[in-house]
Amino acid sequence: HAVSRQTLSGAAVRLDRRHRRTGARHLQAARAAAAESPDEEKKAAALETMRKFSQQYAKGSGTTFCMDKSVTAVVIQGLAEHKVELGAPLCPCRHYDDKEMEVKQGFWCCPCVPMRERKECHCMLFLTEDNDFAGADNEITTDEMNELLGGI
């Protein structure tokens, strides 16, 4: 990989500092919006469901999350959005001409076929220990998700 662990770690620290400063304000705004909108409630519930699913699958498959947890948070958020919009956690890291058809085929629904068959996750959500970007754990808290996503 062209990006070193030190560079990735430094970027994560800078991202973490920036989100700490603005995280509380965004979280309050997101909670207020969620209280007003049933769609926001669905998105928040789907986000929590996908967070729990991701942790469970990582533990069961012997994989870990990326060392940069913002990658984990963004991928889980994309899965949750697809779950709400399409009824299934379609991989958010690919382009689709017809998302509904892709959902019906199921190949790219998380965990996708390449992940189930070969432990190859294009999104970098589930990483094997030999991956240069593999983190030390397979857990991400709701608070971490809120902080990394800016309170969404």
Give the active site residues: 93
Radius of gyration of the chain measured on its C-alpha atoms:
16
Residue appearing with tokens 């990658």: 71
Distance CA 17, CA 20 (A): 5
Angstrom distances, CA of residue 24 to CA of 28, 68, 76, 148: 6, 21, 20, 11
Residue appearing with tokens 């790219």: 108
Considering all CA atoms of the chain, what is the largest pairwise distance in Å, rounded to the nearest integer? 45
User: Would you tell me the crossing angle of helices 38-61 and 69-86 to the nearest 10 degrees?
Assistant: 120
